[in-house]
């Protein structure tokens, strides 16, 4: 079978144990929890013994604990308080500030916002911070010079920043860590070294980290040579080695990543040191297991038995994962060390599942279940102890006590405990006194590498750390997760709705997880769809036909559609308009039911739409799936809104003796003109809104993408929508003009360019008869500001996504980037690396990041813009055109330019070209005013850590959608209603609560109920 889609095929995907793991991850949490409880109960742990041991441990900690700065602050200000979060942000941000001035600005804002006296613990931290707030708040009234104070504060911040970094990080680089590491190992302390870094942005980033990992291996080899009895280890995050460490990229990246990982293993083997593959997000798990299988099968490494792997117990399939690892070692006659952790990406897993509309979470949503799972995993590791050595990595004394009870009751001590550098030293000392070996997990790094690590460490440990800092509340720490779970009365977190029920009163569109190899297998089982010509006009009509060519390869004919004659256009309009009254009188519930059935049909035919969106519209597979979901969301959301607004008349207030009812009716015939860049979701969003509000519709899709619209229309008919209420007419702009000028047209919904919208408005204004409403959604010159406090790596990801996703062919795409000078060099360097690593090619290949431009004319326009910016600015870099890009496709290499002035941009650049302007702090307001004066007002982005800047710019910016610290594209129906102002559209916002109201007439009925006698007023007096 020849699949249209091309993707990475894992040689291990069909293994029984791997399939079972995926099935367990997809189980409903209550069902999985029931299985887990059964497994846990079989452990037969003594809860009193565990708590006696815990009490003994806590007494020791209380006597010997040397409280660190982090522990002192967390005890005074837990993360469930505003002040705790403020301190977390400071701790994460201060080491990354480009200069003292920026750090001071951030620090002052955080201190002013906190209530530092609002604590019942009399600590020096509270006293210091409350006095700092007083000084910063009242300084102007004290009539004291600010310069010396700022200088003192900057010195204080430099010291504080160093303290914060030194709590968690041994040294800023490999060279500076050498002496300290030798000192630790000389004391007999086993170490696991983590070179900070993850999620490489580009190939240079990944290669640099790989080379640094080799340097770490060399250093650890020197330590091993000096201390032969030591067992040093390097922990490696694979995402730091390569930016394409994801399953969809496997076709081009698997061998490259494997080569890098194997080279590290060979080097570690040669030096006699251990290497542990660190845990990351769940969507990377399948890829990591494929790499692990390759390593264990590689003859060059068959004598290397110092390989490790991390298991996260919050995963619903963690027990099964250990079974799989044990079977793998048995099959390959190898051994592994397993570091067992609770998990570091819980919030990411929840957000990702919700965003993708998955049917489940891969993780447990209750901490008690994670605890039960941890102990079940301990038992699994014990069963496989001849093949899998156990390394317990947790700072929770209660969990440690439970693990000790498990092993001591079995007279077994082949187990190692691990702690993070900077935390848990007192617990480590207690464990050593009990005769258990320990290891310290030590990070090395600075700058950008610190961001992800430090934020997670503080969140993971700070969220519960206050409970384990003396003095203790033993009742709170008492270990009995099963009893605590039973007290809850439910086996899932009821405050976290499952993705399908994310919205309270409507369905959420379902989605696909592209990290699941079985999803790709499903795509592969389907041959290239063959769509019969769709009959939208009479079969005996003599019409010309439009051939639809794929923008990915203009030699590929996707299909043909008939073009109507003038007589057929007249017939379609008149026939549809004549059904308007009957359709408006149809009960709302019936219209809603049809639209909901349509949503389900769209999902049922998702593979056909996926094919068409890739072949006809040039969309990459993730973009195509996202558009299918958005179309379904429009159906569900507008159905919900129609019931809310129109299910019954609105009773209005007034004097007694009269009744005032406001009710709504369809206007009649609407012409809906949709664009090629969202040929399914906007096409359906427009017509669904019109149909639900009692209007009939003639829809005209873009001439580049009519097949998608025709298939959607056929499914609308299948869902029960009468052909008399909905017609579709294919063709160019001239046909669109004929449609809107017809006298029966009572409204026009249009999405496209501003220039076309003006032509439509002009045509409508010249028509005889009533004024025809126009809903126009157009483009914009969308800017993003990145200030000096921004989280640079996150900003770079958002910039790349905003500017180049779907080849920049979204009206919301980023068109001009404004970067503060203090960080511009770093931002542009990372941007260049990320851009050069993008894959431009055929959208049917799973690894493609950027597909084709829609047409030759659009391609030529982009070449003209590129030539202009090359002449008036500086080309920083551009992405290479990939191997899968056909010579007959309309491909354009995404480009990054540095330009001197906003004056060079006077129109929307609809494609993957991003001009960048650097600004000083004093220039920002002037630049923004220039941007606003261009008249567009669609989207704007801001990357900052300053709340004051968020408040100021979001309130001032004349744009429809303002995005902070996230991508500027991908507005979600209902959550982020989308639409602009000025030259960017008329409103109301699509996918918002006011959209449907533009499609209706308002009618009021007032009845004088007293005219024929209304005694109701008298009955209000009950005396």
Catalytic residues: 777, 811
> Pairing mode, if any, of strands 388-393 and 336-341?
parallel
Residue in 700, 695, 668 with CA at minimum distance from that of residue 682: 700
Neighbours of 225 (CB within 10 A): 11
Neighbours of 265 (CB within 10 A): 21
User: For residue 751, what are the β-bridge partners?
Assistant: 777
In contact, 335 and 305? CB cutoff 8 Å? yes
Helix (H) or strand (E) holding 383: helix 367-383
Alpha helices in 169-249 (DSSP H): 174-186, 203-226
Report how far residue 358's alpha carbon sits from residue 365's, in angstroms, rounded to the nearest whole number.
Answer: 15
Strands (E), 376-497: 388-393, 415-420, 438-444
DSSP 683-728: HHHHHHHHHHTT-EEEEE--TT-HHHHHHHHHHHHHTT--TTTEEE
Residue identified by tokens 């060519």 is 549
With 0-12 / 13-18 / 19 or more C-beta atoms within 10 angstroms meaning exposed / middle / buried, residue 692 is buried
Q: Which residues have CB under 8 Å from 274's CB, separation 6+?
A: 192, 231, 232, 233, 234, 268, 306, 307, 308, 337
Provide the token pair at 965: 């610290």
Report how far residue 460's alpha carbon sits from residue 346's, in angstroms, rounded to the nearest whole number.
Answer: 10
Q: Which residues have CB under 8 Å from 631's CB, separation 6+?
A: 599, 602, 680, 681, 683, 684, 685, 712
Give whole-number Cα distances, 1001 to 646, 651, 689, 747, in Å: 12, 17, 14, 11
Residue in 32, 10, 33 with CA at minimum distance from that of residue 21: 32
In contact, 500 and 629? CB cutoff 8 Å? no
Provide the token pair at 646: 């129109």
């Amino acid at each position: 079978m020849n699949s249209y889609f091309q993707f990475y095929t894992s040689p291990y995907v069909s293994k029984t144990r791997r399939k079972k793991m995926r099935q367990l991850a997809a189980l409903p949490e209550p069902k999985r929890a029931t299985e887990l409880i059964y497994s846990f109960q079989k452990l037969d742990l003594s809860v009193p013994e565990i708590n006696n041991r815990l009490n003994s441990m806590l007494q020791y900690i209380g006597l010997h604990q040397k409280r660190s700065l982090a522990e002192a602050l967390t005890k005074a200000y837990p993360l469930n308080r505003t002040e705790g979060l403020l301190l977390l942000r400071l701790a994460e941000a201060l080491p990354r500030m480009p200069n003292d001035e920026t750090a001071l600005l951030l620090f002052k804002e955080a201190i002013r916002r906190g209530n530092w006296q609002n604590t019942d613990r009399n600590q020096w931290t509270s006293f210091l911070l409350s006095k700092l707030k007083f000084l910063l708040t009242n300084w102007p009234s004290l009539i004291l010079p600010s310069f010396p104070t700022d200088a003192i504060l900057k010195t204080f911040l430099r010291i504080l920043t160093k303290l914060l970094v030194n709590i968690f990080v041994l040294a800023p680089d490999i060279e500076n860590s050498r002496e300290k590491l030798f000192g630790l190992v000389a004391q007999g302390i086993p170490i696991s070294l983590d070179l900070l870094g993850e999620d490489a942005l580009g190939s240079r980033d990944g290669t640099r980290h790989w080379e640094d990992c080799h340097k770490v291996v060399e250093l650890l080899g020197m330590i091993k040579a000096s201390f032969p009895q030591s067992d040093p280890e390097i922990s490696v995050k694979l995402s730091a080695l390569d930016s394409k460490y994801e399953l969809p990229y496997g076709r081009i990246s698997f061998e490259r990543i494997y080569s890098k990982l194997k080279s590290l293993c060979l080097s570690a083997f040669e030096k006699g040191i251990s290497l542990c593959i660190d845990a990351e997000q769940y969507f990377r798990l399948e890829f990591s297991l494929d790499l692990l299988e390759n390593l264990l099968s590689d003859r060059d490494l068959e004598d290397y038995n110092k390989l490790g792997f991390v298991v996260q117990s919050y995963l619903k399939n963690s027990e099964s994962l250990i079974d799989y690892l044990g079977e793998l070692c048995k099959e390959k006659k190898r051994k592994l060390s397993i570091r067992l952790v609770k998990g570091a990406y819980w919030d990411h897993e929840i957000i990702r599942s919700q965003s993708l509309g998955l049917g489940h979470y891969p993780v447990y949503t209750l901490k008690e279940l994670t605890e039960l799972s941890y102990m079940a995993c301990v038992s699994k590791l014990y069963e496989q102890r001849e093949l899998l050595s156990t390394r317990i990595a947790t700072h929770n004394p209660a969990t440690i006590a439970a693990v000790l009870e498990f092993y001591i009751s079995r007279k077994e001590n082949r187990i190692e405990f691990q702690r993070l550098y900077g935390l848990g030293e007192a617990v480590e000392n207690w464990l050593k006194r009990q005769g258990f070996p320990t290891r310290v997990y030590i990070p090395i790094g600075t700058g950008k590498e610190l961001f992800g690590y430090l934020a997670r460490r503080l969140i993971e440990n700070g969220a519960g750390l206050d409970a384990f800092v003396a003095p203790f509340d033993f009742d709170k720490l008492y270990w009995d997760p099963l009893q605590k779970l039973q007290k809850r009365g439910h086996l899932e977190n009821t405050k976290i709705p499952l993705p399908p029920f994310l919205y309270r009163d409507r369905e959420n569109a379902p989605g696909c997880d592209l990290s699941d190899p079985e999803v790709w297998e499903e795509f592969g089982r389907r041959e290239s769809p063959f769509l019969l010509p769709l009959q939208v006009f009479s079969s005996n009509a003599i019409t010309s036909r439009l051939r639809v060519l794929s923008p990915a390869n203009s030699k590929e004919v996707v299909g043909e559609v008939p073009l109507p004659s003038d007589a057929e256009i007249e017939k379609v309009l008149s026939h549809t308009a004549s059904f308007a009254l009957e359709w408006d009188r149809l009960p709302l519930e019936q219209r809603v039911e049809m639209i909901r059935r349509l949503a389900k049909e769209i999902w049922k035919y998702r593979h056909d739409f996926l094919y068409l969106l890739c072949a006809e519209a040039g969309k990459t597979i993730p973009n195509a799936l996202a558009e299918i979901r958005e179309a379904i969301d429009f159906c569900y959301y507008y159905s919900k809104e129609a019931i809310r607004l129109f299910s019954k008349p609105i009773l209005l207030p007034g004097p007694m003796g009269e009744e005032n009812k406001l009710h709504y009716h369809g206007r009649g015939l609407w012409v809906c003109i949709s664009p090629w860049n969202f040929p399914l979701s906007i096409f359906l969003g427009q017509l669904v809104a019109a149909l639900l509000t009692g209007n009939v519709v003639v829809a005209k899709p873009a001439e580049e993408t009519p097949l998608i619209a025709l298939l959607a229309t056929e499914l609308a008919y299948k869902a029960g929508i009468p052909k008399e209420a909905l017609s579709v007419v294919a063709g160019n702009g001239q046909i669109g003009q004929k449609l809107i000028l017809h006298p029966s047209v009572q409204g026009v919904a249009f999405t496209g360019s501003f220039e076309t919208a003006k032509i439509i408005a002009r045509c409508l204004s010249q028509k005889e008869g009533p004024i025809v409403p126009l809903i126009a959604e157009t483009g914009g010159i969308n800017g993003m500001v990145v200030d000096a406090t921004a989280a640079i790596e996150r900003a770079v990801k958002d910039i790349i996504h905003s500017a180049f996703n779907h080849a920049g062919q979204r009206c919301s795409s980023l068109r001009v980037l404004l970067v503060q000078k203090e960080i511009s060099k770093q931002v542009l360097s990372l941007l260049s690396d990320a851009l050069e690593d993008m894959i431009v090619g055929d959208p049917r290949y799973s690894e493609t990041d950027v597909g084709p431009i829609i047409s030759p004319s659009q391609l030529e326009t982009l070449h003209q813009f590129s030539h202009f910016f090359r002449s008036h600015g500086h080309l920083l870099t551009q992405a290479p055109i990939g191997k899968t890009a056909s010579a007959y496709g309309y491909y354009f290499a995404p480009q990054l330019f540095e330009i001197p002035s906003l004056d060079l941009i006077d129109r929307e650049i609809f494609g993957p070209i991003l001009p960048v302007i650097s600004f000083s702090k004093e220039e920002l307001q002037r630049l923004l005013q220039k941007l606003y004066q261009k008249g567009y007002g669609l989207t704007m982005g801001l990357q900052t850590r300053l709340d004051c800047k968020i408040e100021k710019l979001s309130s001032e910016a004349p744009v429809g959608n303002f995005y902070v610290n996230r991508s500027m594209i991908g507005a979600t129906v209902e959550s982020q209603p989308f639409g602009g102002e000025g030259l960017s559209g008329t409103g109301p916002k699509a996918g918002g609560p006011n959209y449907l109201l533009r499609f209706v007439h308002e009618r009021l009925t007032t009845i004088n109920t007293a005219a024929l006698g209304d005694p109701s007023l008298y009955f209000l007096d009950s005396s």
